Amino acid sequence: MTDSNQASLSAHDRLFKLGDADSYNEVVDLFDKYTEQVTQHLPAPMMAMADVTPSQHILDIGTGTGIVALEVARKLGEQGKVVGIDLSDGMLATAKRKADKEKLAAKAEFLKMDAEVLEFEDDSFDNVLSLYALRHFPNPEKAVAEMRRVLKPGGKAVIAVGSRPELFSRDGLAAVFRRLGSIGRRLTGRELAACDFLDELVNKHIPENANSETAEWTGHRHGFTGSVRDLLAAAGFTDINSSWRGQYSVFESPEAFWELQMTFSSLARKRIGQAEESAVNTLKQEFISTCEDVLARKGRLVYQSGAAIISAVKP
């Protein structure tokens, strides 16, 4: 990390990133539990798009509790290595603990580091992977430029971001029909969807404070595939390709549905973490009661997750 790179980060951006990372420390165990449950279908296609081989050196940006990095480590040989970086101390401690438990510590290293100012030499890695991290960065263009810098020529960056499928794709058209059915069920009180449901209640019970809950560039976007492609092209990547993976999860327990949303929603997690206990209790009582009413009508508590996976090559 050069002094000029560090100086280019504003104090606001540094505080946002550290605050965002710290907001996960109290929910690390829940994050690990539900991330394992609802993202287990993503590391394999990411690795396939990156053409990961056993002897490579791989960087996992925004590693969290090591979901992607540990899957990579399981496939690596003695000469291979994966480095996972994150700013959350709690996440990194869990990732290291899991690596030790699986006896993967020799192949998987976890470091506290800012994705927008990577502390690695140029041309250090064969491939760079990143799952659900880019939307947390105030300056994603800097993170993507850093990915390119640390990649070896010919290496690939593979970035997965939460996103709806592109409208006129096969997945997009299927999603439209699913959404129409979902709207009908919601209008008749037979479906609640994460994370919109909890976010609506949080807005009702816990007013917005002065702190930003999401990175500014994510505020007005629903489909991120094109945005990430543009970022990669602007950074000088070529051979940009994308695919989409989705998963539909149904929850039977209102408590589990609460845990999932309180963990994955930045808005809910941050406001609930800073709110008075009485406000949180009132909010949760309404949440649980509404969930129970929906289940009594033979309805569903659902979490529909989708990820655009975009790959690009450093010339």
pLDDT of 185-225, one tens digit each?
A: 877 889 999 999 999 999 999 987 655 555 555 544 444 56
Helix, strand, or coil (residue 198):
helix
Q: Give Cα 82 to chain centroid, integer Å.
A: 19
Residues contacting residue 7 through CB under 8 Å, at least 6 positions apart: none
Helix, strand, or coil (residue 86):
strand
State how beta strands 108-112 and 81-86 pair: parallel
Residue 204 class from Cβ within 10 Å (0-12 exposed, 13-18 middle, 19+ buried)? Answer: exposed
Other C-beta atoms lying within 10 Å of the C-beta of residue 164 = 19
CB 43 within 8 A of CB 241: no
Query: Quick one: tokens of 123?
Result: 């041309």
198: left (phi over 0), alpha (psi -120 to 50) or beta: alpha
Cα–Cα distance, 68 to 40 (Å, whole number): 9
pTM assigned to the model: 0.89
pLDDT tens readout for residues 55-78: 999 999 999 999 999 999 999 999
Q: What is the mean pLDDT of residues 40-53?
A: 97
Q: How far is residue 95 from each of residues 74, 80, 232, 289, measured CA to CA in Å?
A: 14, 18, 28, 35
242: left (phi over 0), alpha (psi -120 to 50) or beta: beta
In the chain the domains, ranked by start, together with CATH numbers, are: 3-164+215-247+305-313 (3.40.50.150), 170-210+249-303 (no CATH)
Residues contacting residue 295 through CB under 8 Å, at least 6 positions apart: 252, 254, 301
pLDDT tens readout for residues 247-256: 889 999 999 9
pLDDT at 93 over 80: yes
CB 149 within 8 A of CB 121: no
Closest alpha carbon to 262 in 253, 252, 254, 272: 272
